[in-house]
A and B are shown apart, each in its own frame.
Chain A
Amino acid sequence: MKRVGAALSTLFAVAITGARPSAQTASDGVAAFLRADYGRAAALLIPAAEDVWQPDHTAEFFLGMMYDNGLGVPADPIRACSLYVRAAGPGLISQAATTAPLTAAAMSLVRARQRSLGPEFETCNWRAGVGYDDAFEPTTFTLGPGHWVTWDLRGATIMYAGVEKRAGAPLKSWMTTAHAVFQPLRYTPLDSGPSRSTRRHFVQIAMWVPGRDRDTWMLRWMLCEIVRDAVVGVTTQELATAMGRRPPSAAADIDQLVRVGVNDSGDAEWVVANATPPRSGTIESPANRAERRNADCGNAATRTAM
């Protein structure tokens, strides 16, 4: 994850100097690249290529070349490949007869990478969607003796009763939100039931995702429960909004925004603070949820999303 940290700090540095991503900065960046002024090229091309709302495909193409050749940025063939995939995006999607010149070139480079990268091409392709600025930290939570979960950006691995199980594809698709910037994962154990004797295990996932309007962000929050060897989605809520090229760098205080706890009846519940209208829910017990035992985070999130 060091790579992501480095990329983030580069982005912030650019944001502070106030460079506005636009076709003109992309053109200036390409000109700088061609006259071998790679430092200036990177400073101009990175914000234009990584513009969340309106990425410049020309900037993506030439920034890919810089990562490919280690010019002005550290050599990173996978990241270069992702930028080619994004630059080729219009052509890959539409298969249009008329293709912009750099789209065609990017498509050829993507084909070349499919051959040369082998299995790593999948990483390139997936990263092209999710981006490189996710700030996600893989985390392991110990839930009990011999019971733990390791969360990564592509899903979760659960150890239970001596067997390791992977919660893969649906969870991964939910985690794969373009340009999402994650907050640290939180593990919340709750002792529920009439006598508070039933230990339940919740994981809270919060991420800043781009809003529809430029320079707007939403703090998306998802509550998952680990039931033995399965990850079960409870709810997805939007907790906050923010303005800016990048989401707030300070950690969001999730505890101030949403409470996950046990009510007087002993039921687990979640409550969004200061929400109008109020937003809250009782989290049904694993037994009541039995018919949906195999539901996954992604499906549940779809059902309960606002």
Chain B
Amino acid sequence: MQWNRASVVSASLVLLTAPVAGQQAASPGVAAFLAGDYETAARLLTPVAERSATPDPVAQFFLATLYDSGSGVPRNPLRACGLYMAASTVASPIATQAGEIAAVLKAPFFGARGPMATCASANTTPWGESQPAFITLGLGHWLRVDANGIVVGFNGSERRRTNAVFGGPGLRFLPIRYTRLDVDSSRTGQRHFVEWFIWHQLTPDVAGWSLGWVLDEIVGDEMFNVAGERALTTIEAAMPPTSIDVSRLVQLRVNAAGDAEWVMSDPANPRGGVIPARTPQ
């Protein structure tokens, strides 16, 4: 079953009735924000808003406005929405308006994309996205993953992947795996594959974490989705392991016929598939 990176989170909102949070933690970031230095503001607000056991709603609110407008950070309405929603759950002078804005931002997602997109509380599911990477595929041919997304460079031009979601609420990305296969039968000779391994809690009947997998092929300046699995493996734990040997779970190789294929060595359900050759447009 193919599994896309953007997937369902049932945003079960836990309404906290905590006292007004101490807004002192947000102050340096807010000061940078008010001075118009949005990059510094994002850098200072992020740990207080997203990486704290007691996130500051004011920091969440200001960080949300940055993601909503793409100021100092890449525009990300989904992340903005989650931050606004989180900010609305703790008593503060901005809580009511944060909730209203979250509702407005949420509407088009649910309308246009259905449950594919979600506005999850940043309290319960911190945002996760792919780690920055630069992979050289060949001469003048590369893949770059940065805070703005995924870019393929080919013959001096760059092409940004707008269809690939490389982050989401509650996701934990492992490093990208790049595999080059020398394929005899293909006109291209060399084929370039990248795999994304993502811990998530989106499998309905699994209480712990599932390791999602997405296989993409890069042909010229294009990137195609080849295959995906919601759960290569699962683990019952509060937090996913920090490292795992993914080569034990799935391999890419050239088969006897000279075709590229992926193979999943799950003893209970071994499976795989030939990857048809693509030619660039």
Q: List A residues at the B interface (Cβ < 8 Å).
A: 26-27, 30-31, 33-36, 58, 65, 68-69, 71, 98-105, 108-109, 111-112
Contact = CB atoms under 8 A, between A and B. Distances in A.
Interface in B60-95: 62, 64-66, 68-71, 93-94
Contacts of B30: 30-31, 34
A65 B94 contact: yes
B52 to A, nearest CB: 17
A103 B101 CA distance: 12
A105 B34 contact: no
A103 B66 CA distance: 11
A105 B23 contact: no
Interface string B1-45: 000000000000000000010011011001101110010000000
A27 B30 CA distance: 9
A111 B93 contact: no
B65 A31 contact: no
B158 interface: no
A33 B100 contact: no
B34 A108 contact: no
B93 A65 contact: yes
A27 B100 contact: no
A69 B101 contact: no
A196 to B, nearest CB: 63
B103 interface: yes
A186 B34 CA distance: 47
A71 B20 CA distance: 14
Interface of B: 20, 23-24, 26-27, 30-31, 33-35, 38, 58, 62, 64-66, 68-71, 93-94, 96-97, 100-101, 103-105
B202 to A, nearest CB: 27
Which residue, of B20, B31, B38, B68, has the highest number of chain A Cβ atoms within 10 A?
B68
A109 B100 contact: yes
A103 B62 CA distance: 12
Given A30-B34, A35-B23, A112-B100, A101 B93 contact: no
Which residue, of A31, A101, A103, has the highest number of chain B Cβ atoms within 10 A?
A101
B34 A34 contact: no
A34 B110 CA distance: 32
B65 A109 contact: no
Contacts of B38: 101
Contacts of B20: 36
Contact of B97 (A65, A98, A100): A65
Contacts of A65: 93-94, 97
A238 to B, nearest CB: 38
Nearest to A66: B93
